[in-house]
Structure 1
Amino acid sequence: MSQPGFQLGQKLKERWLLLLFGLPFAAVGIGFALFGVIPQLKDWQSMQRWEEVPAEIEQVELKSHRSDGSTTYEVIARYRYDYSGRPYQGQRVGVASGADNIGDFQQNLYDRLRAAKDKARPVPAYVNPEQPAEAVLNRELRGELVIFKLVFVVVFGLVGLGIWAYALLARPDKAAGVAEADAQVKPWLTRNDWAPVISSDGKVVMYAAWGITIFWNAIAIPAAVGAVGEALGGNHAAYIALIFPAVGMGLLAWAVKATLAWRRFGPAPLTLDPYPGSIGGQVGGTIDVNLPYRHDQVFEVVLQCVRIYYSGSGKNRKRRESLVWQREGAAHTQRTARGTRLSILFDVEDGLPVSQAPDNNYHLWRLSMTCELEGADFDRSYEIPVFATAQNAQALREPSTAHSAAEQKREQALESVLNIRQIPGGVIVHYPAFKHIGGKFILLLVGGIFTAVGFAVPSDDFPAWLFALIGAPMALAGLYLLTRSLDVRLDQNALITRTRILGASLGNRRTPRSEITGLALAESYSSQSGRQHTTFYKLQAVHRSGKKTTIGYNLAGRDVAEQALESFSLLTGVPQQ
């Protein structure tokens, strides 16, 4: 076992850049607390014991400072007062010094002091009895200013301290005590997060949810309070700022939901079988969940290999991921003494990328599992080590793709796309229009907006017609994909396809059956929502000349597409390629 001192040294070596990155955030948060909020509260508390005396305003001025498109204000004043029979002169106006534009405090205070000076009317001043030369004209605590400063304390302080806490408390990335020879042969031994038992992302999601919620609301709520004051003063457009705390309440609900899910299901670690997951073999394992067993619970599971890369630079730098390989299924369940055990098993073909350590461009394998339940849903994700070991599971036998729920889901997905009818020696298939409209509608909408801008915006100073040049093809493509339907007949005599747009035929294409040598799948397009990737496939008839004719599309996922390919092959007698 590694010694604590050794682990700390390893963490500092691995994460010194992360610690350095967190330094300015922590410095801003701590600085605002030590030099802004705490002194202001301390002064305000002590001023409540100061004695009130009349003061004469000698000079008062409202100074404005303009910077970065905003204007701040500060009241400057000089006044005289007597205490214990001795004259004094003071310049301190309020508890907090400096210029600001939080509310209209500075303007109102200036108006009051200016009116007192013009009318030669005394105003109250508050004198420190222990140091009579120290006085203030306004000893009110400006709550909105304190909250404004607390935003920096909370937001920057939490970010900085959170980064430091992770860097110093999370276990080291690299595993200790692995010989170089073993690391070359078994690279999965070199990292702690590639252990045989993989932690889920449940706790990370919970902490992230609370961090984002606190960060957002620390900014949104003070901004909304200030906006309400503006709106009550007549600027009704300021009410739009209430959108931000509304979003904050949504984030709070997300954080509470993540917390309830963590408390309900527990850590739910994944124990791999085989270890590591195997390219050219199988990826599988078991998960013990703190959940009473029910035979009708369906835990959907997705195994993905994704490529992670970064694009852009500076503040435009973004993390992106593209899908390399994916399989879907359902976990087999069994009762245990503490709840429910989930068993996952997938066959993985040769030639896929292995797991890699995080970098600017690397591959990772991810296992995701979801189950809709009353109350908090089960939704966990695991990043797992997968390498080309060609090993099979020792204790697991039932593939997740063969689960009855997974087969039923594939059949339903296939039926939603295929309207198939068997005829002697073949099939007749109808693919209706307006299926899987999401991406197609977005293409039509964006293209339509670009086209409208191209025609509506005056082009005296800017070639707006470029928008129309880009948008029109996009809109037409989206409209075509949305309204297109396809009829296919494949029998012993010929392959006949007919494409229609809103029911209007674009003509038939006929290919003799003797020219069709096989059926094949090809990727059509992909969509992504969060971590959920969906690749759509098209089914093609391969001609003897090498030409291909599309006889099916909108097949969501490799498993659904392969089932469609198998069904076509069985019903028509055309072999798969």
Structure 2
Amino acid sequence: MLHKLKERWGLLLLSLPLVGLGVSFLYLGVLLPLSDWTDMKNWEPVQAQIVSARMKRNYSEGSTTYRAESSYRYQYQGKSYSGDRVDISTGSSSDNDFEYHREILRPLVHAQENNMTVTGWVNPEQPEQAVLNRDLRSGHLLLAGVFALIFGALALGIWAYVLLARPDKTDVSEAQATLKPWLARRDWASATIKSDGKTGMWVLWVFAAFWNLISLPSAIGAVGEALDGNHVAWLALLFPLVGAVITYWAVKLTLRWRRFGPAPLTLEPYPGAIGGQVGGTLEVTLPYQADNRFAVTLQCLHSYYSGSGKNRERHESMVWQSEGLAQTARTAYGTRVQWLFEVEHGLPVSEPPGKRYHLWRVNIKCELAGADFDRNYEIPVFATGEKSRQLAQVSASNQHPEVAQKREQLLESLFDIRQVPGGVVLHYPAFSSPSSKMVLIVMGAIFSGVGLLVDADGFPAWIFAVIGLPMFFGGLYALLSSLDVRIDRTELVTRRRLLGVGLGNKHTPRSEITKLFIDESYSSRTGNQHTTYYKIKAELRSGGCKTISHSLPGRELAQEALKSLSLLTGVPDA
């Protein structure tokens, strides 16, 4: 127990603010209003003369909060008193429920303008205490209760983890940890590796709950402000829309977990081997069907922090990746999935989590009717050079016949190649790969529209146009332009056209070209799925280079295209 407390003292410190927040929401948001509401049932009615009534707005970090304020005079048992408490809420705190405060304020403003009185309530034991509205805000009470429950549950969860969960590290000796560092981590102490399916599901549900509880009240308040003329407030509706998407993904992960369960992976060899092979087997509780295709992606990633303070974020960049299809077989429990990759020398080994570290992750995915199988496993990979013995009959997943065929079809769709004497002509037509370009155009149009059309009333909405216009026109140019590249015995010629109109030719003597090589263009990420795009370039003797292909998804596809071009043109490849 003491060992756990020493190892996880940081988590205990983290739980203290959560406890404080939970207690604050419980006391100030639930217990105190309930106590006041109960006491006010015995307060007596009086007629109050309104002296002032106004809506107080507070602006802070891009958000607006409201508070109905009023001062009034009243008489009780022949004595005059003054008060300023409007409702059951204590203190002078504000919130973003604009509609509530507006409804409270409306009769007070009317009474002040027409020199009328309103009914208030006075404490008979302390007549200097009075309130104009003693109704309980049930929605406000419920929201505070939910926050108290969430923060309290998080604190209890942290305490339960600190006291009950097994340590992350095993009790191996320092000598063993030096020789076999994977044994020092409890989740890598055997060849059986758990997926992140359950953890990811719960994390997403907690995040969805927090996001929706915070964004929905803000959005409701923003609607009232937008109806009053502040049109930029409509942007607040984007937040509950994001919350709905997060909830949708949480439901999808839950359905996947319920359908397939833990589905642990058994590595072979163990650990995965740089300079050798990385492979594994898992049993999936899915009736075997020969046409089910399990796609496998093995990645080496660099995880690091960027930014500082509030803007500090963790990022992942891809170092190496290989994709393929697993082999499947029928078992008594459902379907056996086996996969194997050859891994070259010189790649980074798995490192302990820190500010900057390298990790290896395998994703196994199968699209099915209903919930898909989609699991990620962080696996130990070290420079042991080992080969798999149990999977010796399994062919490399990235050389699966269907993968090779799909690669050829993709190359044909991306490359319009025509041979000419001494070389080739490559044609990249306009309107090719339209989906990614249309996303850029649509997003650019939305941002530009907000920046150019919305009357922000002091908010610098033009920033959206600065971001959106380059996105819109860049996507439009990429969609409408075509490129022709000709490499023959005498020269390299590149010709760009926009809607058929030539934008000029660029000529480079063939003698200037030393080699063809692939160069990383950009990367995209969806969840834990990374895709890196590459361009094929010609290196020049002058030290520059010329781009001769559009972006190709994945290193293996780019390398295959590079070999084909090198073979057809006679220019050596890197």
1:284 alignment counterpart: 279
- 1:354 matches 2:345: no
Correspondence list, 1:122-271, <5 A: 138-147=133-142, 149-150=144-145, 152-153=147-148, 156-157=151-152, 160=155, 164=159, 170-175=165-170, 177-195=171-189, 196-227=191-222, 241-271=236-266
C-alpha spacing 1:124/1:173, structure 2 compared with 1 (3 Å): closer
SS of the equivalent of 1:309 reads: strand
SS of the equivalent of 1:178 reads: coil
2:337 alignment counterpart: 342
- 1:38 matches 2:31: yes
1:293 alignment counterpart: 288
Gaps of 5+ in 2: 452-461
C-alpha deviations, 1:292-351, integer Å up to 9, x for none?
Answer: 221111222211111111112111112122211111111211222222221121111000
The one-letter code of the counterpart of 2:368 is: L
C-alpha spacing 1:79/1:132, structure 2 compared with 1 (3 Å): closer
The one-letter code of the counterpart of 1:408 is: Q
Distance 2:86 2:521 in 1: 70
C-alpha spacing 1:414/1:158, structure 2 compared with 1 (3 Å): farther
1:488 to 462, 486, 489: 486
Matched-pair identity in %: 48
C-alpha spacing 1:441/1:258, structure 2 compared with 1 (3 Å): closer
C-alpha deviations, 1:198-220, integer Å up to 9, x for none?
Answer: 22121122112211211122123
Tell which deviates more after alignment, 522-531 or 367-376: 522-531
Q: CA deviation at 1:40?
A: 2.0
Q: Does the CA contact (< 8 Å) of 2:51 and 2:70 recur in 1?
A: yes
Q: Does the CA contact (< 8 Å) of 1:154 and 1:215 recur in 2?
A: no
Distance 1:507 1:132 in 2: 90
C-alpha spacing 1:476/1:442, structure 2 compared with 1 (3 Å): closer
Q: Does the CA contact (< 8 Å) of 1:498 and 1:505 recur in 2?
A: no
SS of the equivalent of 2:8 reads: helix
1:501 to 491, 497, 503: 497
Count of matched residue pairs? 541
Q: Does the CA contact (< 8 Å) of 2:69 and 2:86 recur in 1?
A: no
- 1:535 matches 2:532: yes
C-alpha spacing 1:314/1:161, structure 2 compared with 1 (3 Å): farther
- 1:332 matches 2:327: yes
- Give the TM-score of the pair, scaled to structure 2: 0.78
Distance 2:164 2:110 in 1: 54
Distance 1:505 1:419 in 2: 20
1:274 alignment counterpart: 269
Distance 2:87 2:442 in 1: 59
C-alpha deviations, 1:511-563, integer Å up to 9, x for none?
Answer: 56x99876544434444444333333344567899987655443321111222
C-alpha deviations, 1:365-393, integer Å up to 9, x for none?
Answer: 11122222222222221111111010111
C-alpha deviations, 1:455-509, integer Å up to 9, x for none?
Answer: xxxxxxxxx9xx99xx99x97999589735133355xx55654433345374475
Distance 1:112 1:147 in 2: 31
Q: CA deviation at 1:414?
A: 1.0
Tell which deviates more after alignment, 402-411 or 382-391: 402-411
- Give the TM-score of the pair, scaled to structure 1: 0.77
Q: Does the CA contact (< 8 Å) of 1:88 and 1:133 recur in 2?
A: no
Distance 2:116 2:438 in 1: 71
2:458 alignment counterpart: none
SS of the equivalent of 2:6 reads: helix
Q: Does the CA contact (< 8 Å) of 1:284 and 1:345 recur in 2?
A: yes
Q: CA deviation at 1:276?
A: 0.9
Distance 1:253 1:378 in 2: 16
2:12 alignment counterpart: 19
C-alpha spacing 1:376/1:426, structure 2 compared with 1 (3 Å): same
Q: Does the CA contact (< 8 Å) of 1:57 and 1:113 recur in 2?
A: no
Q: Does the CA contact (< 8 Å) of 2:516 and 2:572 recur in 1?
A: yes
Q: Does the CA contact (< 8 Å) of 1:62 and 1:73 recur in 2?
A: yes
Q: CA deviation at 1:278?
A: 0.8
The one-letter code of the counterpart of 1:15 is: R
SS of the equivalent of 2:167 reads: coil
Q: Does the CA contact (< 8 Å) of 1:75 and 1:109 recur in 2?
A: no
1:409 to 406, 410, 416: 406
Distance 2:439 2:238 in 1: 27
Q: Does the CA contact (< 8 Å) of 1:293 and 1:340 recur in 2?
A: yes
2:363 alignment counterpart: 368
RMSD over aligned CA atoms reads 4.6
Q: Does the CA contact (< 8 Å) of 1:519 and 1:575 recur in 2?
A: yes
C-alpha spacing 1:233/1:323, structure 2 compared with 1 (3 Å): closer
1:460 alignment counterpart: none
Distance 2:6 2:324 in 1: 41
Distance 2:478 2:128 in 1: 83
The one-letter code of the counterpart of 1:324 is: V
2:560 to 536, 560, 563: 563
SS of the equivalent of 1:274 reads: coil
The one-letter code of the counterpart of 2:400 is: H
2:456 alignment counterpart: none
Tell which deviates more after alignment, 432-441 or 16-25: 432-441
Q: CA deviation at 1:363?
A: 0.8
